[in-house]
Amino acid sequence: MNYKKDLNFKQKMEVKMKRTKVVLLVLSILLCSGIAFADTINVPGDQPTIQAGIDASIDGDIVLVQPGTYVENINFAGKEVILGSLFHTTQDTSYISQTIIDGNQNGSVVTFNGDEGSASVLTGFTITNGYADMGGGIYCNHTSPSLNNVNVTGNLAGNGGGILCLVSSPDLDNVIITNNSAEFAGGGLYCINSSPVLDNVTILNNSAGTDGGGINCSNCNPVFYNVTIANNSAESNGGGVYCDTYASPDFENVTIANNSAGSDGGGIFCDNQSSPSLSNVVITDNSAEEGGGIFCLHFSDPILEYVTIMNNVAYNGGGVSCNISSTPFFKNVRISNNSAENYGGGILCLYSSPDFENMTISDNTADIGGGIYFP
């Protein structure tokens, strides 16, 4: 067993802190040396549209947008600028709902595909009404921008209804991703070969036609800290979270609640050697055909420490279902009040070898094997 959670999480959070320090250092050098000072471009005062403001900017500038609805599809075009509503200057959160970028169902609302780094900042907006094959609200391709105090809502895409990350590692702070949908995968967030860091993020009421109603992770290592993943749905697998192909997300202080899957993994679905790490996580009130809380398949090895799995419902494996050589590790985990109509109210294990340490398994119900069922 590879107990890598603590190391991975600390390393990824250190990377985030280093990015922030680099940005602050660069700004300090510029201000102290007098080499350059940021200009503020006001929209619509100086430029009539947000895109015109970005086009007129140079690295280090601020594009400051007045309240209103702007029907645009914008592209940062590689600019290291701060694009902000009046929230940026006042910290008044009411400006987030008052300053709307409406994609008019004409593509991704915001695009980052010019190798943007953390100095490219989007802050204080509502991002809505996008429609695209990939990333209805925000599309990140080979970039690592900073997204903070943003609401991504009411967007639609083939994959990644709210946000799509392709080989990208954006920082998301104080972001709400809600009421987005994907025709296929990743209703709220879709990550491919990416390592985004999410801090104080809510992923709520999103849906997917196939896998990952809230989040779809494929071959990536995102970090989720102080995140709520709730009321999302997938027609196939992973109502809350879908992990596939060596995905190793880290979840710290996370709530996964009231998600549903038409097939497997109401809360979390793990497949193809995916190994998420969960610490101080609550998985509750999720539902699926199999694995109401968590479903593990094909050599997936999640690590769970100080996790509560309760009140989940499934036909098989109300709390947890492990299938085909999955070897999850449970330490200081409580599995209680889950129910299965058929096998394994708490845990169902088929051709799998879970590792238990200091467990509480209580008050689970099933037709066969209320607590644990090993056929």
pLDDT value at residue 42 = 98
145 pLDDT exceeds 70?
A: yes
pLDDT value at residue 27 = 43
Confidence of residue 34 (pLDDT cuts 50, 70, 90): very low
Q: How far apart are CA 83 and CA 122, in angstroms?
A: 5
9 pLDDT exceeds 80?
A: no
Q: Which amino acid is at 240?
A: G
pLDDT value at residue 17 = 56
Average pLDDT over residues 274-294: 97
14 pLDDT exceeds 80?
A: no
Bond from prior residue into 44 cis (ω within 30 degrees of 0)? yes
What six digits make up the tokens of 198?
């999410």
pLDDT value at residue 169 = 96
The pLDDT tens digits of the residues spanning 299-347 come to: 899 999 999 999 999 999 999 999 987 788 999 999 999 999 999 999 9
In the chain, the percentage of residues whose pLDDT exceeds 70 is 90
**Sheet architecture: strand order including 313-316:** 131-134, 156-159, 181-185, 207-208, 233-234, 260-261, 287-290, 313-316, 339-343, 365-368
What pTM value is reported for the model?
A: 0.91
State the maximum Cα–Cα separation within the chain, in Å, rounded to a whole number. 74
Confidence of residue 19 (pLDDT cuts 50, 70, 90): low
Confidence of residue 352 (pLDDT cuts 50, 70, 90): confident
Residues 6 or more apart whose Cβ sits within 8 Å of residue 14: none
23 pLDDT exceeds 80?
A: no
Average pLDDT over residues 149-165: 98
pLDDT value at residue 22 = 44
Confidence of residue 25 (pLDDT cuts 50, 70, 90): very low
The pLDDT tens digits of the residues spanning 55-89 come to: 999 999 999 999 999 999 999 999 999 999 999 99
